[in-house]
Structures are given as C-alpha cells and as structure tokens.
C-alpha cells in the first residue's frame, strides 16, 4: 500500500522554486530484510534503496527504459514505474508506466500527481486527500527553509486520518482489505507487523541541487526511526 506524491515543474520562473518535489511512503512488513538508501560505491554516482538498479545502471533515457520494460509488462504482477532524466542543459523529462494501464509509457506534463496501489492518479480517497495536503505544503515551498519544507512533507506522509468510505479501494482489495480497511485507508498505514516503514522526500532546485531525505523505521519498532539526508549536484 505504498503512496507517492510528485510535483514536476521543468521550467520554474522563480530562483527559489523546485523543479521536482517528491514525497513517498514505502509500506511493507516491518520484519522484511531491507537496507536504507545509500550510495552504492565510492564513486557516489547512484543513491537508492536498490529497487530500480537496471534503470540506474543502464545507458538508456527514461522513456526508452520504460518502453523496454513495457514489452514484458504482461509477464508480471501489477507494478508502477516513474523514471526521470533531470538535466540543467537539456531540460527535464519524467515518464510513467503502469503494467495494468496503457501499453506504452507516457510523458508527464508539468503538474502535481499522486500514485498508490493502482494506476497514476486513480481517485482513491486517501490519494486525493494526501494530494490535497501535499499541494497545500508545496504552495509555500518558495517561502520556507528547505529543512522546514522537508519536515512538513514528512508530516503529510505520516497522516493517519482514514478516508472512508472508499468503494474503489474496497473493490480492488476485496476480502483481503476488509479486516484492516480503516488502517489502509490512511496515507500512513499502521497495522500489526505491517505498514509504513520508510518516508522519502526528494527536492531538486532550479540549479540542479538535490536534497534526498529518508526516514526509516529501526528494528521493526514504530517508535524507533533514523533520518538520513544526502545532498549533491545533478550531473549534466
């Protein structure tokens, strides 16, 4: 039941604006083995949680990579991928592919998007509510310190207000979601042994400076968290 919110503005007018703002939750079993995001080697060229390594290591642009993935999309259970090429000289491109939707990836226009356990911008109530909270925060993004913006976005990601009733979510989850419907219907999921275990916030400003913040649960304990922040410049 992961969730993601994205604001994309490839040509911001203000020098204090952000080309990309991303806020996302990773939901899974607390005891599942997992590593925090980190740079993969001493070159400090790839920073990730090692979930999309093929795109990060292959010499393909985002659309070409997703096009390649789409050719075999029917072979897998449902998944969504968002890939981006951010360049200070060639312009910014973000693409999306969901293997339960259109047969080919699409380019995203400037705007605000939301993604949960369905296709991009499927109007689940929790997604619409979270997108509203996300939008309210980023409206103030040019007027607040970067550290405060990160904390406000993390607050959005940890909102536990259930958005019910939601027939669309109930229909997709069927009998599996009924026992935990209230918990699943919130942006932040909190069930026994399962739920939101990582918050991720990515900010990319007009000059190509990236701030990557990850808040990760420790020891499968919802009261123990570690926050790591990485800052670097985009390569042209």
Band (49; pLDDT cuts 50, 70, 90):
low
Band (7; pLDDT cuts 50, 70, 90):
very high
Q: What is the pLDDT of residue 151?
A: 98
What count of residues does the chain have?
236
Q: What is the pLDDT of residue 51?
A: 53
- 198: closest CA among 177, 220, 178? 220
Summary mean pLDDT of the chain: 92
Alpha-carbon distance of 133 to 72, in angstroms, equals 36
- Is 1's pLDDT higher than 80? no
Q: What is the pLDDT of residue 190?
A: 95
Alpha-carbon distance of 79 to 76, in angstroms, equals 8
List the Cα angle 109/9/3 in 5-degree steps. 75
The lowest-confidence range among 55-64, 97-106, 131-140, 167-176 is 167-176
Indicate the pTM of the whole model. Answer: 0.93
Q: What is the pLDDT of residue 57?
A: 84
Mean pLDDT of 8-21: 94
Alpha-carbon distance of 117 to 7, in angstroms, equals 19
Band (236; pLDDT cuts 50, 70, 90):
low
């Amino acid at each position: 039941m992961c969730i993601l919110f994205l604001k994309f503005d490839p040509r911001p007018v203000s020098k204090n604006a952000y080309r990309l703002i991303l806020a996302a939750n990773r939901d899974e079993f607390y005891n599942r083995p997992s590593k925090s995001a980190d740079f993969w080697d001493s070159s400090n060229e790839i920073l990730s949680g090692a979930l999309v390594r093929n795109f990060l290591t292959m010499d393909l642009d985002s659309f070409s990579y997703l096009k390649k993935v789409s050719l075999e999309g029917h072979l897998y259970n449902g998944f969504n991928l968002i890939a981006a090429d951010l360049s200070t000289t060639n312009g910014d491109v973000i693409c999306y592919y969901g293997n339960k939707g259109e047969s080919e990836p699409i380019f995203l226009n400037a705007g605000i998007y939301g993604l949960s356990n369905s296709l991009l911008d499927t109007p689940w109530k929790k997604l619409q509510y979270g997108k509203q909270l996300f939008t309210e925060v980023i409206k103030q993004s040019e007027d607040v310190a970067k550290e405060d913006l990160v904390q406000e976005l993390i607050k959005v990601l940890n909102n536990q207000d259930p958005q019910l009733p939601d027939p669309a979510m109930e229909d997709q989850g069927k009998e599996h979601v009924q026992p935990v419907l209230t918990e699943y219907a919130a942006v932040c999921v909190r069930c026994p042994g399962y739920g939101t275990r990582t918050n991720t916030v990515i900010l990319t400003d007009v000059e190509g400076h990236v701030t990557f913040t990850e808040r990760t649960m420790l020891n499968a304990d919802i009261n123990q968290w570690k926050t790591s922040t990485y800052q670097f410049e985009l390569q042209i």
